[in-house]
Amino acid sequence: MSKLISFILLSLIITVSASAQATHWRGPNSNGIYPDKNLLKEWPAEGPAMLWHFDGLGKGFSSPVFANDHIYLTGTIDDQGYIYVLSMDGKQTAKYPYGKEFIESWPGARSSVTIVGDLLYMESGYGSLFCMNTKDGSIKWKKEFLSDFDGKNITWGFTETVLIDKDVLYCTPGGKVNNVMALNRLTGETIWSSTGKEELSAYCTPLLIELPARKLLVTMTANDIIGLDAATGKLLWAHPQTNEWAVHANTPVYADGGIFCFSGYGQGGPKLKLSADGSSVTQEWFAKSFDSRMGGAVYIDGYVYGSGDTSGKEWQCLDWKTGEKKYASTDVAKGVVIYADGMLYGYTQKGEVFMAKATPAEFKVAGKFSITMGSDQHWAHPVINDGILYVRRGNAVMAFKIS
């Protein structure tokens, strides 16, 4: 009997622990890499089979998030923001309003939600930060970046997807005093506040790096890449990173003690080598042509893959150690990249969805089709979940079977 009780208790602990894991922007490790296996290596000429589509999301650029056997997205109808909850077969099961959403230049919901158990966290384009109950949409707490934290509004609206580690929520109001903050995710109370470099927020979803000496929070603000001690908020280092519009929308890429931070509008970016304890950085190389504006990049087996924007509009592969460009291709337009099971998956700003083997030898498209449903720009980052590729374009999200 005692063994049975111990087994039941262990099962409960595992279940509770699993339910308390936070979702992440760009995959389970925030790096654009998805764990799915046994995926198709070729597609039919017309592309993989579409399983379903949902067409009532309103305006927005956020990606689908999976939790509690449901799909969560954000969208804007008129000037109001909503959380849409879909079943796994694409049927709407709930729709929760959360307030005014960004309706100025490029209107629509920007941020994807972050979910921990039954709590959902959402940052609006106007800097409203919500903690909501996924079961009924009720708001548990709310913070306003502009009025509560003296944050500063930015040209195209706050865009980060908040990062949560256990009971700590990280966000970037962008004020002179409360530049980067850590909040208690259960109460909204401040854990620490950092002045950072006293710069505007720069559309960047931060990255948390676990080092032997500390957890390091890395993000980009208007003119700098910054590294903070995640426990205290102390600014450990800063490295200049500027461009014409102070837009640094790509989450940094981390591997083997190095960080690659890159921005659009002809900027590109540096690979920085971290000291052992994360307290300082040195630049190893700089890739000007790798100037993706908001399409991200992936690091795979010693190489980084993604597309350029202005300086280099081609798809590129860089050697992680040296920054050497291994190839450059204009076979498809610039866009977003993610990875799973040996393959790159791209979604271009012309609406092409493609698949290519992740190899530095060549860029060779193994399958391609076009997104014709939905509205407005092809900007949302696609997601792979349980062998299905999800692509959002404005008011529509589509599910394609790729396994």
Rounded distance between C-alpha atoms, residue 11 and residue 33, angstroms: 29
Q: Yes or no: say if 276 and 307 are a contact pair by the CB < 8 Å rule.
A: no
pLDDT value of position 311: 76
Closest CA to 168 of 178, 187, 149, 183: 183
Contacting residues for 287 by C-beta, under 8 A, at least 6 apart: 262, 268, 269, 270, 271, 318, 323, 325
pLDDT value of position 18: 41
Fold of 64-201: Lipocalin (2.40.128)
Rounded distance between C-alpha atoms, residue 91 and residue 340, angstroms: 26
pLDDT value of position 153: 87
Q: How do strand 33-34 and strand 335-340 relate by DSSP bridges?
A: parallel
Phi-psi region of 345 (alpha: psi -120 to 50; beta: other; left: phi over 0): beta
Q: Yes or no: say if 89 and 130 are a contact pair by the CB < 8 Å rule.
A: no
pLDDT value of position 11: 42
Q: Other C-beta atoms within 10 Å of 336: how many? A: 26
Phi-psi region of 46 (alpha: psi -120 to 50; beta: other; left: phi over 0): alpha
Note the CATH number of domain 38-55+331-403: 2.40.10.480
Computed on alpha carbons and rounded to an integer, the radius of gyration of the chain in Å comes to 20
pLDDT value of position 3: 47
| CA 152 to chain CA centroid, nearest Å | 22
pLDDT value of position 10: 42
Element containing residue 258 per DSSP (H, E): strand 258-260
Token readout for 398 is 């589509």
- Tens of pLDDT along the chain (403 residues)? 444 444 444 444 444 444 579 999 999 999 999 999 999 999 999 999 999 999 999 999 999 999 999 999 999 999 999 999 999 999 999 999 999 999 999 999 999 999 999 999 999 999 999 999 999 999 999 999 999 999 998 999 999 999 999 999 999 999 999 999 999 999 999 999 999 999 999 999 999 999 999 999 999 999 999 999 999 999 999 999 999 999 999 999 999 999 999 999 999 999 999 999 999 999 999 999 999 999 999 999 999 999 999 877 899 999 999 999 999 999 999 999 999 999 999 999 999 999 999 999 999 999 999 999 999 999 999 999 999 999 999 999 999 999 9
195-201-205-211 Cα dihedral, nearest 10 degrees: -20
Where are the chain's structural domains? 38-55+331-403, 64-201
Element containing residue 334 per DSSP (H, E): none
Q: Which amino acid is at 292?
A: S
